[in-house]
Chains A and B, each alone.
Chain A
Amino acid sequence: MKNILAIIKKELKHFFYSPLGYIIIAVFLFISSFFFRDSLHSYLEMSIVAENPMGEAQALSINQMLFGSFLWVSALVLIFIVPIITMRIMAEERKTGTFELLSTSPIRNYELILGKFFSQIIIFFVLMIFMSPYFISIYMIQKFALIPVFVGVLGYFLFGVSCLAVGFFFSSIFKNPIHAAISTLGMLLILWISRWFGQITEGIPGKMFSEVSIITHIDSFMKGIISVKDISFFISFIFFMLLLANLYIDSIRWRE
Protein backbone atom coordinates (compact mmCIF):
# COMPACT_ATOMS: atom_id res chain seq x y z
CA MET A 1 0.00 0.00 0.00
CA LYS A 2 2.85 2.36 0.88
CA ASN A 3 4.45 1.64 -2.48
CA ILE A 4 1.21 2.30 -4.34
CA LEU A 5 0.85 5.64 -2.56
CA ALA A 6 4.47 6.57 -3.35
CA ILE A 7 3.86 5.90 -7.03
CA ILE A 8 0.57 7.81 -7.10
CA LYS A 9 2.30 10.78 -5.49
CA LYS A 10 5.13 10.67 -7.97
CA GLU A 11 2.83 10.46 -10.99
CA LEU A 12 0.70 13.35 -9.79
CA LYS A 13 3.85 15.42 -9.35
CA HIS A 14 4.89 14.62 -12.92
CA PHE A 15 1.49 15.68 -14.21
CA PHE A 16 1.05 18.84 -12.22
CA TYR A 17 4.70 19.96 -12.49
CA SER A 18 4.54 19.94 -16.25
CA PRO A 19 2.82 22.49 -18.45
CA LEU A 20 1.26 19.59 -20.35
CA GLY A 21 -1.01 18.86 -17.39
CA TYR A 22 -2.42 22.36 -17.40
CA ILE A 23 -2.69 22.46 -21.19
CA ILE A 24 -4.73 19.25 -21.09
CA ILE A 25 -7.06 20.65 -18.43
CA ALA A 26 -7.46 23.98 -20.26
CA VAL A 27 -8.16 22.43 -23.65
CA PHE A 28 -10.59 19.93 -22.19
CA LEU A 29 -12.50 22.60 -20.31
CA PHE A 30 -12.57 24.93 -23.29
CA ILE A 31 -14.04 22.30 -25.59
CA SER A 32 -16.42 20.82 -23.06
CA SER A 33 -17.76 24.24 -22.06
CA PHE A 34 -18.48 24.91 -25.70
CA PHE A 35 -20.43 21.67 -25.93
CA PHE A 36 -22.24 22.42 -22.71
CA ARG A 37 -23.33 25.78 -24.08
CA ASP A 38 -24.49 24.01 -27.21
CA SER A 39 -26.44 21.36 -25.28
CA LEU A 40 -28.01 24.04 -23.13
CA HIS A 41 -28.99 26.01 -26.20
CA SER A 42 -30.75 23.12 -27.88
CA TYR A 43 -32.46 22.20 -24.61
CA LEU A 44 -33.83 25.73 -24.34
CA GLU A 45 -35.03 25.68 -27.93
CA MET A 46 -36.82 22.41 -27.35
CA SER A 47 -38.42 23.82 -24.21
CA ILE A 48 -39.84 26.72 -26.20
CA VAL A 49 -41.24 24.35 -28.79
CA ALA A 50 -42.73 22.17 -26.05
CA GLU A 51 -44.41 25.10 -24.35
CA ASN A 52 -46.03 26.22 -27.56
CA PRO A 53 -49.62 24.87 -27.46
CA MET A 54 -49.51 24.36 -31.22
CA GLY A 55 -46.38 22.27 -30.96
CA GLU A 56 -46.24 18.61 -30.27
CA ALA A 57 -46.15 18.08 -26.52
CA GLN A 58 -43.28 15.95 -25.35
CA ALA A 59 -41.73 15.01 -22.05
CA LEU A 60 -38.56 17.00 -21.59
CA SER A 61 -36.19 15.27 -19.26
CA ILE A 62 -33.44 17.67 -18.22
CA ASN A 63 -31.38 14.65 -17.36
CA GLN A 64 -31.54 13.09 -20.80
CA MET A 65 -31.92 16.13 -22.98
CA LEU A 66 -29.35 18.35 -21.32
CA PHE A 67 -26.91 16.42 -19.13
CA GLY A 68 -27.19 13.17 -21.00
CA SER A 69 -26.50 14.71 -24.36
CA PHE A 70 -23.72 16.87 -22.92
CA LEU A 71 -21.98 13.90 -21.27
CA TRP A 72 -22.31 11.91 -24.46
CA VAL A 73 -20.53 14.56 -26.55
CA SER A 74 -18.06 15.11 -23.76
CA ALA A 75 -17.24 11.40 -23.89
CA LEU A 76 -16.22 11.94 -27.50
CA VAL A 77 -13.88 14.73 -26.39
CA LEU A 78 -12.39 12.30 -23.87
CA ILE A 79 -11.38 9.98 -26.68
CA PHE A 80 -9.02 12.66 -27.89
CA ILE A 81 -7.84 13.83 -24.47
CA VAL A 82 -7.20 10.46 -22.81
CA PRO A 83 -4.36 9.39 -25.14
CA ILE A 84 -2.49 12.55 -24.19
CA ILE A 85 -3.02 11.94 -20.49
CA THR A 86 -1.87 8.32 -20.61
CA MET A 87 0.79 8.37 -23.32
CA ARG A 88 3.81 8.80 -21.10
CA ILE A 89 2.66 6.86 -18.05
CA MET A 90 4.73 3.71 -18.80
CA ALA A 91 6.38 4.55 -22.13
CA GLU A 92 8.45 7.36 -20.67
CA GLU A 93 9.83 5.16 -17.90
CA ARG A 94 11.18 2.80 -20.51
CA LYS A 95 12.41 5.54 -22.79
CA THR A 96 14.43 7.27 -20.08
CA GLY A 97 15.62 4.09 -18.36
CA THR A 98 13.81 4.78 -15.09
CA PHE A 99 11.93 1.54 -15.65
CA GLU A 100 15.11 -0.16 -14.47
CA LEU A 101 14.97 1.83 -11.25
CA LEU A 102 11.38 0.74 -10.65
CA SER A 103 11.95 -2.89 -11.49
CA THR A 104 15.08 -3.18 -9.34
CA SER A 105 13.22 -1.72 -6.36
CA PRO A 106 11.45 -3.92 -3.86
CA ILE A 107 8.00 -3.27 -5.29
CA ARG A 108 5.75 -5.74 -7.03
CA ASN A 109 4.47 -5.39 -10.56
CA TYR A 110 0.86 -5.02 -9.50
CA GLU A 111 1.79 -2.24 -7.08
CA LEU A 112 3.48 -0.38 -9.91
CA ILE A 113 0.51 -0.82 -12.23
CA LEU A 114 -2.13 0.03 -9.66
CA GLY A 115 -0.19 3.07 -8.45
CA LYS A 116 0.18 4.39 -11.93
CA PHE A 117 -3.38 3.61 -12.95
CA PHE A 118 -4.88 5.18 -9.82
CA SER A 119 -2.89 8.34 -10.50
CA GLN A 120 -4.53 8.51 -13.92
CA ILE A 121 -7.95 8.04 -12.38
CA ILE A 122 -7.24 10.87 -9.95
CA ILE A 123 -6.23 13.17 -12.82
CA PHE A 124 -9.43 12.27 -14.65
CA PHE A 125 -11.39 12.89 -11.47
CA VAL A 126 -9.83 16.36 -11.20
CA LEU A 127 -10.99 17.05 -14.77
CA MET A 128 -14.50 16.00 -13.77
CA ILE A 129 -14.46 18.26 -10.73
CA PHE A 130 -13.65 21.16 -13.04
CA MET A 131 -16.84 20.30 -14.94
CA SER A 132 -19.04 20.42 -11.84
CA PRO A 133 -19.87 24.17 -12.17
CA TYR A 134 -21.96 23.32 -15.26
CA PHE A 135 -24.20 21.14 -13.14
CA ILE A 136 -24.18 23.32 -10.05
CA SER A 137 -25.10 26.48 -11.97
CA ILE A 138 -28.13 24.79 -13.54
CA TYR A 139 -29.15 23.36 -10.17
CA MET A 140 -29.07 26.85 -8.68
CA ILE A 141 -31.43 28.11 -11.37
CA GLN A 142 -33.69 25.10 -11.45
CA LYS A 143 -33.64 22.23 -9.00
CA PHE A 144 -33.65 18.83 -10.70
CA ALA A 145 -33.63 15.24 -9.54
CA LEU A 146 -30.06 14.53 -8.53
CA ILE A 147 -29.89 10.76 -8.63
CA PRO A 148 -30.40 10.22 -12.39
CA VAL A 149 -27.75 12.87 -13.06
CA PHE A 150 -25.32 11.17 -10.70
CA VAL A 151 -25.96 7.90 -12.49
CA GLY A 152 -25.12 9.61 -15.78
CA VAL A 153 -21.92 10.98 -14.30
CA LEU A 154 -21.05 7.52 -12.98
CA GLY A 155 -21.43 6.13 -16.51
CA TYR A 156 -19.24 8.89 -17.84
CA PHE A 157 -16.64 8.12 -15.16
CA LEU A 158 -16.61 4.39 -15.97
CA PHE A 159 -16.31 5.19 -19.65
CA GLY A 160 -13.38 7.53 -18.96
CA VAL A 161 -11.59 4.99 -16.79
CA SER A 162 -12.02 2.37 -19.53
CA CYS A 163 -10.39 4.76 -21.98
CA LEU A 164 -7.56 5.29 -19.49
CA ALA A 165 -7.09 1.53 -19.29
CA VAL A 166 -6.71 1.33 -23.09
CA GLY A 167 -4.20 4.18 -22.92
CA PHE A 168 -2.36 2.46 -20.11
CA PHE A 169 -2.04 -0.72 -22.10
CA PHE A 170 -0.62 1.01 -25.16
CA SER A 171 1.75 3.08 -23.05
CA SER A 172 3.04 -0.17 -21.60
CA ILE A 173 3.87 -1.73 -24.92
CA PHE A 174 5.57 1.25 -26.55
CA LYS A 175 8.77 3.01 -25.61
CA ASN A 176 7.77 6.14 -27.45
CA PRO A 177 4.89 8.12 -25.89
CA ILE A 178 3.78 9.44 -29.30
CA HIS A 179 3.34 5.90 -30.61
CA ALA A 180 1.36 5.08 -27.49
CA ALA A 181 -0.89 8.13 -27.95
CA ILE A 182 -1.64 7.41 -31.61
CA SER A 183 -2.39 3.75 -30.98
CA THR A 184 -4.65 4.63 -28.07
CA LEU A 185 -6.55 7.16 -30.16
CA GLY A 186 -6.91 4.64 -32.98
CA MET A 187 -8.11 1.91 -30.65
CA LEU A 188 -10.62 4.17 -28.91
CA LEU A 189 -12.01 5.35 -32.25
CA ILE A 190 -12.36 1.75 -33.39
CA LEU A 191 -14.16 0.88 -30.17
CA TRP A 192 -16.40 3.88 -30.76
CA ILE A 193 -17.32 3.24 -34.38
CA SER A 194 -17.82 -0.48 -33.90
CA ARG A 195 -21.23 0.56 -32.60
CA TRP A 196 -22.11 1.82 -36.06
CA PHE A 197 -20.76 -1.33 -37.59
CA GLY A 198 -23.13 -3.09 -35.25
CA GLN A 199 -26.05 -1.02 -36.48
CA ILE A 200 -25.44 -1.72 -40.16
CA THR A 201 -24.57 -5.39 -39.69
CA GLU A 202 -27.31 -7.94 -39.14
CA GLY A 203 -27.55 -10.86 -36.80
CA ILE A 204 -25.05 -12.00 -34.20
CA PRO A 205 -21.98 -10.26 -35.70
CA GLY A 206 -23.87 -6.99 -35.55
CA LYS A 207 -24.75 -7.59 -31.94
CA MET A 208 -21.11 -8.36 -31.20
CA PHE A 209 -19.81 -5.20 -32.84
CA SER A 210 -22.28 -3.19 -30.92
CA GLU A 211 -21.58 -4.85 -27.56
CA VAL A 212 -17.81 -4.46 -27.93
CA SER A 213 -18.17 -0.73 -28.38
CA ILE A 214 -17.56 1.02 -25.07
CA ILE A 215 -19.97 3.79 -26.01
CA THR A 216 -22.92 1.37 -26.21
CA HIS A 217 -22.59 0.75 -22.51
CA ILE A 218 -23.04 4.33 -21.39
CA ASP A 219 -26.52 4.68 -22.94
CA SER A 220 -28.44 3.31 -20.01
CA PHE A 221 -26.44 5.41 -17.55
CA MET A 222 -27.37 8.53 -19.50
CA LYS A 223 -31.02 7.61 -19.09
CA GLY A 224 -30.46 7.40 -15.34
CA ILE A 225 -30.52 3.61 -15.21
CA ILE A 226 -27.87 1.62 -13.39
CA SER A 227 -27.44 -1.61 -15.26
CA VAL A 228 -25.43 -4.43 -13.73
CA LYS A 229 -24.61 -5.68 -17.22
CA ASP A 230 -23.00 -2.39 -18.21
CA ILE A 231 -21.14 -1.95 -14.93
CA SER A 232 -19.74 -5.44 -15.22
CA PHE A 233 -18.77 -4.74 -18.82
CA PHE A 234 -16.75 -1.70 -17.82
CA ILE A 235 -15.11 -3.38 -14.86
CA SER A 236 -14.13 -6.47 -16.83
CA PHE A 237 -12.91 -4.31 -19.68
CA ILE A 238 -10.66 -2.27 -17.35
CA PHE A 239 -9.43 -5.39 -15.61
CA PHE A 240 -8.67 -7.09 -18.92
CA MET A 241 -6.66 -4.13 -20.22
CA LEU A 242 -4.61 -3.90 -17.01
CA LEU A 243 -4.03 -7.64 -17.10
CA LEU A 244 -2.69 -7.39 -20.65
CA ALA A 245 -0.45 -4.49 -19.60
CA ASN A 246 0.79 -6.55 -16.65
CA LEU A 247 1.60 -9.53 -18.87
CA TYR A 248 3.49 -7.31 -21.27
CA ILE A 249 5.45 -5.53 -18.52
CA ASP A 250 6.38 -8.90 -17.07
CA SER A 251 7.68 -10.05 -20.43
CA ILE A 252 9.92 -6.99 -20.87
CA ARG A 253 12.35 -8.51 -18.37
CA TRP A 254 12.95 -11.42 -20.71
CA ARG A 255 13.76 -9.20 -23.62
CA GLU A 256 15.90 -6.44 -22.12
Chain B
Amino acid sequence: MIKVKDLTRKYGDFVAVDNISFEVNEGEIVGFLGPNGAGKTTTLRVLTGFSPANSGNVEIAGYDIFENPIEVKKRIGYLPEFPPLYTDFSVKDYLSFVADIKGVESRKKKEYTEYAVEKCGLENVYKKTIMNLSKGYRQRVGIAQSLIHKPDILLLDEPTSGLDPIQIIEVRNLIKELRKEHTIMLSTHILPEVSATCSRVIIINNGKIIAKDTPENLSDKLTGAVMVKIKIANDIEKAKIAVSEMDVVKKIESNEDMLEVELKNKEDISKVIKNLVEAKADILSVVPSSASLEQVFHHLITREEIV
Protein backbone atom coordinates (compact mmCIF):
# COMPACT_ATOMS: atom_id res chain seq x y z
CA MET B 1 0.00 0.00 0.00
CA ILE B 2 2.71 2.44 1.00
CA LYS B 3 6.23 2.13 -0.38
CA VAL B 4 8.82 4.64 0.73
CA LYS B 5 12.29 4.43 -0.70
CA ASP B 6 15.34 6.51 0.26
CA LEU B 7 13.22 9.46 1.27
CA THR B 8 15.06 12.60 2.36
CA ARG B 9 13.51 15.88 3.40
CA LYS B 10 15.52 18.91 4.43
CA TYR B 11 14.54 22.29 5.80
CA GLY B 12 17.43 24.44 4.71
CA ASP B 13 20.45 22.69 6.20
CA PHE B 14 18.42 20.78 8.75
CA VAL B 15 17.78 17.19 7.70
CA ALA B 16 14.34 16.30 9.08
CA VAL B 17 14.07 12.92 7.38
CA ASP B 18 17.28 11.20 6.41
CA ASN B 19 17.15 8.58 3.68
CA ILE B 20 14.42 6.37 5.10
CA SER B 21 12.76 3.37 3.46
CA PHE B 22 9.82 1.30 4.63
CA GLU B 23 6.70 -0.43 3.42
CA VAL B 24 3.22 -0.75 4.79
CA ASN B 25 1.06 -3.61 3.54
CA GLU B 26 -2.67 -3.66 3.07
CA GLY B 27 -4.66 -4.19 6.26
CA GLU B 28 -1.81 -3.40 8.64
CA ILE B 29 -1.74 -0.92 11.48
CA VAL B 30 1.76 0.41 11.61
CA GLY B 31 2.98 2.55 14.47
CA PHE B 32 5.45 5.25 13.70
CA LEU B 33 7.24 5.76 16.96
CA GLY B 34 9.77 8.34 17.96
CA PRO B 35 10.45 11.21 20.31
CA ASN B 36 9.16 14.68 19.49
CA GLY B 37 11.05 16.20 16.58
CA ALA B 38 12.20 12.84 15.23
CA GLY B 39 10.67 13.43 11.80
CA LYS B 40 7.34 11.63 12.17
CA THR B 41 5.11 14.52 11.15
CA THR B 42 7.44 15.46 8.31
CA THR B 43 7.29 11.92 6.94
CA LEU B 44 3.50 11.81 7.19
CA ARG B 45 3.28 15.19 5.47
CA VAL B 46 5.33 13.87 2.58
CA LEU B 47 3.08 10.82 2.37
CA THR B 48 -0.03 13.03 2.20
CA GLY B 49 1.39 15.08 -0.64
CA PHE B 50 1.46 18.21 1.49
CA SER B 51 5.22 18.41 1.70
CA PRO B 52 7.67 17.89 -1.15
CA ALA B 53 10.81 15.79 -0.70
CA ASN B 54 14.42 16.49 -1.58
CA SER B 55 15.00 12.98 -2.84
CA GLY B 56 13.52 9.52 -2.81
CA ASN B 57 10.38 7.79 -4.01
CA VAL B 58 6.99 7.45 -2.41
CA GLU B 59 4.40 5.18 -3.95
CA ILE B 60 0.94 5.04 -2.45
CA ALA B 61 -1.79 2.70 -3.67
CA GLY B 62 0.18 2.31 -6.88
CA TYR B 63 0.57 6.04 -7.58
CA ASP B 64 3.70 8.12 -7.29
CA ILE B 65 3.02 10.92 -4.83
CA PHE B 66 5.13 13.47 -6.65
CA GLU B 67 3.83 12.73 -10.12
CA ASN B 68 0.21 12.05 -9.30
CA PRO B 69 -0.61 13.87 -6.06
CA ILE B 70 -4.31 14.28 -6.82
CA GLU B 71 -4.86 10.52 -7.27
CA VAL B 72 -2.96 9.81 -4.07
CA LYS B 73 -4.87 12.44 -2.11
CA LYS B 74 -8.15 10.82 -3.15
CA ARG B 75 -7.01 7.60 -1.49
CA ILE B 76 -5.61 9.03 1.72
CA GLY B 77 -7.34 10.18 4.86
CA TYR B 78 -5.16 12.35 7.05
CA LEU B 79 -5.57 13.52 10.60
CA PRO B 80 -2.94 16.15 11.44
CA GLU B 81 -1.70 16.51 14.99
CA PHE B 82 -4.22 19.25 15.65
CA PRO B 83 -7.53 18.32 14.06
CA PRO B 84 -8.16 20.78 11.20
CA LEU B 85 -11.61 22.01 12.19
CA TYR B 86 -13.72 25.02 11.26
CA THR B 87 -14.96 25.70 14.76
CA ASP B 88 -17.72 28.05 13.62
CA PHE B 89 -19.33 25.23 11.62
CA SER B 90 -21.63 22.50 12.84
CA VAL B 91 -20.33 18.95 12.54
CA LYS B 92 -22.83 18.47 9.71
CA ASP B 93 -21.66 21.49 7.70
CA TYR B 94 -18.03 20.64 8.33
CA LEU B 95 -18.28 17.03 7.19
CA SER B 96 -20.34 18.09 4.19
CA PHE B 97 -17.60 20.50 3.11
CA VAL B 98 -14.84 17.94 3.62
CA ALA B 99 -16.81 15.36 1.63
CA ASP B 100 -17.08 17.89 -1.21
CA ILE B 101 -13.39 18.73 -1.40
CA LYS B 102 -12.36 15.10 -0.97
CA GLY B 103 -14.25 14.38 -4.17
CA VAL B 104 -17.11 12.28 -2.77
CA GLU B 105 -19.80 11.99 -5.45
CA SER B 106 -23.06 13.71 -4.54
CA ARG B 107 -25.10 10.51 -4.68
CA LYS B 108 -22.73 8.73 -2.30
CA LYS B 109 -22.33 11.67 0.05
CA LYS B 110 -25.15 10.71 2.42
CA GLU B 111 -24.00 7.11 2.72
CA TYR B 112 -20.36 8.07 3.29
CA THR B 113 -21.23 10.73 5.84
CA GLU B 114 -23.37 8.24 7.75
CA TYR B 115 -20.47 5.80 7.71
CA ALA B 116 -18.07 8.34 9.21
CA VAL B 117 -20.59 9.62 11.74
CA GLU B 118 -21.49 6.13 12.88
CA LYS B 119 -17.89 4.91 13.12
CA CYS B 120 -16.87 7.88 15.21
CA GLY B 121 -20.01 7.99 17.33
CA LEU B 122 -20.99 11.52 16.36
CA GLU B 123 -24.77 11.02 16.14
CA ASN B 124 -25.46 13.03 19.30
CA VAL B 125 -23.40 16.04 18.31
CA TYR B 126 -24.09 16.01 14.58
CA LYS B 127 -25.93 19.32 14.58
CA LYS B 128 -23.83 21.04 17.23
CA THR B 129 -21.28 23.74 16.52
CA ILE B 130 -17.76 22.35 16.73
CA MET B 131 -16.70 25.24 18.98
CA ASN B 132 -18.93 23.83 21.73
CA LEU B 133 -17.58 20.28 21.59
CA SER B 134 -15.20 18.71 24.09
CA LYS B 135 -11.68 17.86 23.08
CA GLY B 136 -12.51 14.17 22.76
CA TYR B 137 -15.36 14.88 20.42
CA ARG B 138 -13.27 17.28 18.39
CA GLN B 139 -10.71 14.54 17.93
CA ARG B 140 -13.48 12.22 16.76
CA VAL B 141 -14.69 14.83 14.29
CA GLY B 142 -11.07 15.00 13.11
CA ILE B 143 -11.02 11.25 12.57
CA ALA B 144 -14.45 11.34 10.88
CA GLN B 145 -13.03 13.96 8.54
CA SER B 146 -10.18 11.63 7.61
CA LEU B 147 -12.46 8.72 6.71
CA ILE B 148 -15.34 10.50 5.05
CA HIS B 149 -14.22 9.55 1.55
CA LYS B 150 -13.55 5.92 2.61
CA PRO B 151 -9.85 6.15 1.78
CA ASP B 152 -7.71 3.05 1.43
CA ILE B 153 -5.12 4.52 3.73
CA LEU B 154 -5.46 6.45 6.97
CA LEU B 155 -2.55 8.50 8.24
CA LEU B 156 -3.09 9.60 11.83
CA ASP B 157 -0.63 11.99 13.43
CA GLU B 158 -0.67 11.48 17.20
CA PRO B 159 -4.35 10.55 17.31
CA THR B 160 -4.57 10.39 21.11
CA SER B 161 -2.47 13.38 22.12
CA GLY B 162 -4.13 15.67 24.62
CA LEU B 163 -7.00 13.32 25.44
CA ASP B 164 -7.93 12.01 28.88
CA PRO B 165 -7.42 8.30 29.68
CA ILE B 166 -10.99 7.28 28.89
CA GLN B 167 -10.97 9.15 25.59
CA ILE B 168 -7.63 7.56 24.76
CA ILE B 169 -9.11 4.08 25.17
CA GLU B 170 -12.10 5.09 23.05
CA VAL B 171 -9.91 6.40 20.26
CA ARG B 172 -7.70 3.30 20.35
CA ASN B 173 -10.73 1.04 20.09
CA LEU B 174 -11.97 3.13 17.21
CA ILE B 175 -8.62 2.76 15.44
CA LYS B 176 -8.67 -1.03 15.92
CA GLU B 177 -12.18 -1.10 14.51
CA LEU B 178 -11.11 0.94 11.48
CA ARG B 179 -8.42 -1.60 10.73
CA LYS B 180 -11.02 -3.83 9.09
CA GLU B 181 -11.56 -1.35 6.28
CA HIS B 182 -8.43 0.77 6.07
CA THR B 183 -4.70 0.41 6.11
CA ILE B 184 -3.53 2.57 8.96
CA MET B 185 -0.31 4.29 9.81
CA LEU B 186 -0.23 6.26 13.04
CA SER B 187 2.52 8.27 14.61
CA THR B 188 3.02 8.59 18.31
CA HIS B 189 5.58 9.26 20.96
CA ILE B 190 3.54 7.32 23.49
CA LEU B 191 4.77 3.75 23.75
CA PRO B 192 1.76 1.91 25.17
CA GLU B 193 -0.17 3.20 22.21
CA VAL B 194 1.90 1.10 19.87
CA SER B 195 1.61 -2.10 21.89
CA ALA B 196 -2.12 -1.44 22.30
CA THR B 197 -2.98 -0.89 18.67
CA CYS B 198 -0.25 -1.70 16.19
CA SER B 199 0.78 -4.86 14.44
CA ARG B 200 4.14 -3.43 13.48
CA VAL B 201 6.40 -0.65 14.71
CA ILE B 202 8.77 1.62 12.89
CA ILE B 203 10.99 3.50 15.28
CA ILE B 204 12.47 6.75 14.07
CA ASN B 205 14.95 9.05 15.72
CA ASN B 206 16.77 12.10 14.36
CA GLY B 207 15.22 11.45 10.97
CA LYS B 208 16.55 7.89 10.70
CA ILE B 209 14.73 4.60 11.06
CA ILE B 210 16.40 2.66 13.82
CA ALA B 211 14.09 -0.35 14.11
CA LYS B 212 11.28 -2.09 12.23
CA ASP B 213 9.49 -5.06 13.78
CA THR B 214 6.50 -6.28 15.76
CA PRO B 215 6.24 -4.88 19.28
CA GLU B 216 6.91 -8.36 20.80
CA ASN B 217 9.96 -9.13 18.68
CA LEU B 218 11.50 -5.81 19.51
CA SER B 219 11.30 -6.60 23.21
CA ASP B 220 12.88 -10.00 22.74
CA LYS B 221 15.66 -8.70 20.55
CA LEU B 222 16.67 -6.17 23.10
CA THR B 223 17.11 -8.47 26.05
CA GLY B 224 18.21 -11.58 24.18
CA ALA B 225 17.17 -13.45 27.32
CA VAL B 226 14.09 -14.29 29.31
CA MET B 227 13.48 -13.06 32.81
CA VAL B 228 11.25 -15.05 35.17
CA LYS B 229 10.07 -13.99 38.57
CA ILE B 230 9.20 -16.91 40.82
CA LYS B 231 7.51 -16.40 44.16
CA ILE B 232 8.41 -19.04 46.74
CA ALA B 233 6.47 -19.60 49.98
CA ASN B 234 9.02 -21.68 51.97
CA ASP B 235 12.82 -21.73 52.12
CA ILE B 236 14.05 -19.41 49.41
CA GLU B 237 17.78 -20.04 49.93
CA LYS B 238 17.32 -23.75 49.35
CA ALA B 239 15.39 -23.05 46.18
CA LYS B 240 18.06 -20.66 44.98
CA ILE B 241 20.78 -23.26 45.39
CA ALA B 242 18.69 -25.83 43.52
CA VAL B 243 18.19 -23.52 40.57
CA SER B 244 21.65 -21.98 40.40
CA GLU B 245 23.16 -25.43 39.75
CA MET B 246 21.33 -25.63 36.42
CA ASP B 247 23.36 -24.80 33.30
CA VAL B 248 20.45 -23.04 31.50
CA VAL B 249 20.44 -20.31 34.11
CA LYS B 250 22.47 -17.25 33.23
CA LYS B 251 21.91 -15.27 36.38
CA ILE B 252 19.94 -15.62 39.58
CA GLU B 253 19.03 -13.20 42.32
CA SER B 254 16.81 -13.46 45.33
CA ASN B 255 15.10 -10.96 47.52
CA GLU B 256 12.71 -11.84 50.36
CA ASP B 257 10.37 -14.39 48.77
CA MET B 258 11.12 -13.68 45.12
CA LEU B 259 13.60 -15.43 42.83
CA GLU B 260 14.61 -13.53 39.72
CA VAL B 261 16.01 -15.94 37.17
CA GLU B 262 17.50 -15.03 33.83
CA LEU B 263 17.31 -17.82 31.25
CA LYS B 264 18.63 -18.34 27.75
CA ASN B 265 15.35 -19.60 26.29
CA LYS B 266 11.67 -19.42 27.08
CA GLU B 267 11.50 -23.24 26.91
CA ASP B 268 13.83 -23.53 29.88
CA ILE B 269 11.19 -22.15 32.23
CA SER B 270 9.62 -25.60 32.63
CA LYS B 271 12.98 -27.16 33.55
CA VAL B 272 13.46 -24.61 36.26
CA ILE B 273 9.98 -25.27 37.65
CA LYS B 274 10.59 -29.06 37.64
CA ASN B 275 13.82 -28.59 39.51
CA LEU B 276 12.14 -26.36 42.07
CA VAL B 277 9.36 -28.89 42.63
CA GLU B 278 11.92 -31.65 43.15
CA ALA B 279 13.67 -29.44 45.69
CA LYS B 280 10.33 -29.22 47.55
CA ALA B 281 9.87 -25.48 46.98
CA ASP B 282 6.30 -24.19 47.27
CA ILE B 283 5.75 -22.07 44.17
CA LEU B 284 3.15 -19.35 44.52
CA SER B 285 3.56 -17.65 41.14
CA VAL B 286 5.68 -17.64 38.01
CA VAL B 287 5.77 -14.43 36.00
CA PRO B 288 7.84 -14.20 32.84
CA SER B 289 8.84 -10.65 32.04
CA SER B 290 10.31 -9.35 28.85
CA ALA B 291 11.64 -5.87 28.40
CA SER B 292 8.86 -3.32 27.99
CA LEU B 293 8.68 -1.17 24.91
CA GLU B 294 9.70 1.66 27.13
CA GLN B 295 13.06 0.00 27.69
CA VAL B 296 13.43 -0.91 24.02
CA PHE B 297 12.73 2.62 23.04
CA HIS B 298 15.13 4.10 25.51
CA HIS B 299 17.75 1.59 24.55
CA LEU B 300 17.33 2.26 20.85
CA ILE B 301 17.49 5.98 20.99
CA THR B 302 20.46 6.05 23.30
CA ARG B 303 22.46 3.28 21.59
CA GLU B 304 21.47 2.95 18.00
CA GLU B 305 23.06 -0.41 17.25
CA ILE B 306 20.16 -2.88 17.37
CA VAL B 307 18.68 -4.18 14.07
Nearest CB on A from B65, distance (A): 11
Nearest CB on A from B174, distance (A): 20
A residues 88-119 near B (Cβ < 8 Å) are 96-108
Give the number of chain B interface residues (Cβ < 8 Å): 30
Tell yes or no: B98 within 8 A of A by CB: yes
Contact B50 A104 (CB under 8 A): yes
Contact B86 A103 (CB under 8 A): no
Query: A3-B101, A255-B11 in contact; A103/B50 too (CB < 8 A)?
Result: yes
Contact A97 B50 (CB under 8 A): no
Query: A14-B88, A255-B11, A256-B51 in contact; A102/B101 too (CB < 8 A)?
Result: yes
Query: A106-B103, A256-B51 in contact; A97/B88 too (CB < 8 A)?
Result: no
Q: How far is the CA of A253 from the CA of B76 in the complex (A)?
A: 18
Contact B84 A108 (CB under 8 A): no
Tell yes or no: B137 within 8 A of A by CB: no
- Chain A residue numbers with a CB within 8 Å of B76 are 104
Tell yes or no: A37 within 8 A of B by CB: no
Tell yes or no: B208 within 8 A of A by CB: no
Contact A7 B101 (CB under 8 A): yes
Tell yes or no: A10 within 8 A of B by CB: yes
Q: How far is the CA of A97 from the CA of B199 in the complex (A)?
A: 30
Contact A97 B52 (CB under 8 A): no
Tell yes or no: B100 within 8 A of A by CB: yes
Tell yes or no: B300 within 8 A of A by CB: no
Contact B86 A98 (CB under 8 A): yes
Contact B74 A106 (CB under 8 A): yes
Contact B100 A97 (CB under 8 A): no
Tell yes or no: B115 within 8 A of A by CB: no
A residues 140-178 near B (Cβ < 8 Å) are none
Contact A105 B93 (CB under 8 A): no
Tell yes or no: B145 within 8 A of A by CB: yes
- Chain A residue numbers with a CB within 8 Å of B93 are 13
- Chain B residue numbers with a CB within 8 Å of A105 are 73, 98, 101-103
Contact B102 A10 (CB under 8 A): no
Query: A2-B100, A97-B82, A254-B52 in contact; A104/B73 too (CB < 8 A)?
Result: yes
Tell yes or no: B89 within 8 A of A by CB: yes
Contact B98 A101 (CB under 8 A): yes
- Chain B residue numbers with a CB within 8 Å of A108 are 70
- Chain B residue numbers with a CB within 8 Å of A132 are none
Which chain A residue shows the least CB distance to B77? A104
Query: A7-B101, A104-B76, A106-B103 in contact; A253/B84 too (CB < 8 A)?
Result: no
Query: A14-B86, A106-B74 in contact; A253/B52 too (CB < 8 A)?
Result: yes
Contact B51 A106 (CB under 8 A): no
Partner of B88, one of A18, A101, A102, A253: A18
Chain B 50-83 per-residue mask, 1 if CB under 8 angstroms from chain A, else 0: 1110000000000000000011011010101011
Contact A106 B70 (CB under 8 A): yes
- Chain A residue numbers with a CB within 8 Å of B86 are 10, 14, 96, 98
Tell yes or no: A46 within 8 A of B by CB: no
B residues 88-133 near A (Cβ < 8 Å) are 88-89, 93, 97-98, 100-103
Nearest CB on A from B259, distance (A): 54
Interface centre among B73, B78, B83, B86 (most CB of A within 10 A): B86
Tell yes or no: B48 within 8 A of A by CB: yes
> Can you spell out 14 A-B residue pairs with CB atoms less than 8 angstroms apart?
A2-B100, A7-B101, A9-B100, A10-B86, A10-B97, A14-B86, A96-B85, A100-B78, A101-B78, A101-B84, A101-B98, A104-B76, A106-B74, A256-B51
A100-B50, A256-B45 known; 11 new pairs, CB 8 Å cut-off, are: A3-B100, A7-B101, A14-B86, A14-B88, A17-B88, A17-B89, A96-B85, A96-B86, A97-B80, A100-B78, A106-B102
